[in-house]
C-alpha cells in the first residue's frame, strides 16, 4: 500500500514538472516573408531577436521594388495612351556616328526609341541630348557577322573570344555611359547564332536589369530560345524598313509593317539615319492616325506584351 502511494506521488510529480516546462517554453510562428523565427511570448533574448529582424528587413527588396529600380524601368520613356489601335515601334539604330543625320532623326515626332553605336563620339552627350528631346535610348552593340567584310568599329563581341572575354568587353561598353534601357545587336548574324555565347550576354543583361532587342539579322538567332529560360524585357525585330535605300522599297516595307501591326496588334521595325528614310518617315508618320495605328516607344510594346 505504501509502495503504491509513493509510486503515485512520483508519477504526479513528473507530470507537474513536465507540464511546467512546457508552459515556460515560448510558442513560435514563422513570419512568411523572412527566415527569422519570431516568438509570440517575450523571452530573455527578445531584444536580440527584434534587432535581427530589423537588420533583415533592411535587406529585403520586394520583386516590385527591384522592377522599379532597374535601369530599364528608370530610363524607359514615360508614355501612356488610351488608344486601342494596333501599335508600331520604330527603333532607329546606327545612331551617333553620322551626327547630322542622327540629329535630323531625333527631330521627327512620333519616333521614340534610338539606339546609339557604342563607339560614337561624345556618346554620353548625345544620349543626354536625345533624352531632352523626349526619346528613350539603347546601345547598339557590335556583334560578329557571318560575312567579315563589315566594319564593326573598334570593338565587337566575337565567336573568337571566350565567354568571359566577351562579357568583359560587353561591360566595358555598358559602363561607358548611362541613361539607356538596354541593347540591340549591330550585325551579329554569327554571334547571335551561338547559343552559349549569346546566352552569356543575355544573362548579363538580365542581371543588370536591362532589355534586349534581337535585331534578327539571321533567322537562326538563338535569342528566342534563351529568353524562355533567362527572363528580361525582350523583343524581336519584325521589319527592316530600309534594307534597300530606294524610296519605293522603303514605302513597301512600311506597308508590310502596317499589315503586321493590324494582324498581330503590334509590330517592331528598325531603320537607320539616312536621307531617304528620313524623307519617307516624315511623310508616312502623319498618316498613321487615319489608318488607325499608333506609334509608341519600344518599351511600351515590351511592357504590354510581357504583362
CATH 3.40.50.620 corresponds to the domain 67-306: no
CA–CA dist 252, 244 (Å, integer): 10
Mean pLDDT of the chain: 84
Q: What are the residue ranges of helices labelled H in the chain? A: 2-24, 46-59, 63-68, 71-75, 99-106, 123-132, 163-174, 195-208, 223-226, 247-264, 275-284, 288-291, 298-306
With 0-12 / 13-18 / 19 or more C-beta atoms within 10 angstroms meaning exposed / middle / buried, residue 236 is middle
- Dmax (CA) for the chain in angstroms is 117
Q: Tens of pLDDT along 185-204?
A: 999 999 999 999 999 999 99
Q: Tens of pLDDT along 206-227?
A: 999 999 999 999 999 999 999 9
Within 13 Å and on the Cβ side, how many CA atoms surround 199? 9
- Average pLDDT estimate for 169-188: 98
Residue 231, φ and ψ in degrees, nearest 5:
-85, 135
Could you tell me the residue ranges of all domains in the chain? 67-306
Residue 223, φ and ψ in degrees, nearest 5:
-60, -45
- Enter the pTM of the model: 0.79
- Would the pLDDT of 295 be above 60? yes
C-alpha 43 chain-centroid distance: 47
Amino acid at each position: 500500500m505504501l509502495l503504491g502511494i509513493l509510486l503515485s506521488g512520483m508519477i504526479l510529480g513528473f507530470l507537474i514538472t513536465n507540464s511546467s516546462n512546457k508552459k515556460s517554453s515560448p510558442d513560435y510562428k514563422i513570419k512568411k516573408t523572412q527566415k527569422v523565427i519570431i516568438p509570440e511570448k517575450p523571452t530573455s533574448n527578445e531584444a536580440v531577436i527584434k534587432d535581427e529582424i530589423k537588420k533583415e528587413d533592411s535587406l529585403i527588396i520586394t520583386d516590385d521594388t527591384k522592377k522599379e529600380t532597374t535601369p530599364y524601368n528608370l530610363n524607359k520613356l514615360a508614355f501612356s495612351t488610351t488608344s486601342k489601335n494596333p501599335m508600331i515601334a520604330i527603333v532607329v539604330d546606327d545612331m551617333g556616328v553620322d551626327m547630322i543625320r542622327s540629329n535630323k532623326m531625333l527631330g521627327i515626332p512620333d519616333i521614340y526609341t534610338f539606339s546609339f553605336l557604342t563607339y560614337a563620339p561624345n556618346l554620353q552627350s548625345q544620349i543626354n541630348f536625345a533624352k531632352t528631346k523626349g526619346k528613350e535610348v539603347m546601345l547598339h552593340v557590335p556583334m560578329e557577322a557571318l560575312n567579315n567584310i563589315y566594319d564593326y568599329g573598334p570593338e565587337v563581341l566575337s565567336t573568337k573570344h571566350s565567354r568571359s572575354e566577351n562579357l568583359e568587353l560587353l561591360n566595358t561598353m555598358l559602363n561607358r555611359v548611362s541613361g539607356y534601357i538596354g541593347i540591340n545587336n549591330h550585325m551579329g548574324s554569327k554571334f547571335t547564332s551561338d547559343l552559349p555565347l549569346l546566352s552569356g550576354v543575355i544573362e548579363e543583361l538580365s542581371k543588370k536589369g536591362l532589355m534586349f532587342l534581337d535585331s534578327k539579322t539571321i533567322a537562326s538567332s538563338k535569342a528566342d530560345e534563351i529568353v524562355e529560360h533567362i527572363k528580361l524585357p525582350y523583343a524581336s525585330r519584325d521589319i527592316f524598313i530600309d534594307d534597300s535605300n530606294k524610296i519605293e522599297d522603303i514605302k513597301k516595307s512600311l506597308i508590310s509593317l502596317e499589315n503586321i501591326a493590324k494582324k498581330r496588334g503590334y509590330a517592331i521595325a528598325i531603320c537607320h539615319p539616312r536621307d531617304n528614310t528620313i524623307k519617307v518617315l516624315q511623310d508616312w508618320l502623319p498618316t498613321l492616325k487615319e489608318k488607325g495605328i499608333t506609334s509608341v516607344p519600344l518599351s511600351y510594346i515590351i511592357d504590354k506584351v510581357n504583362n
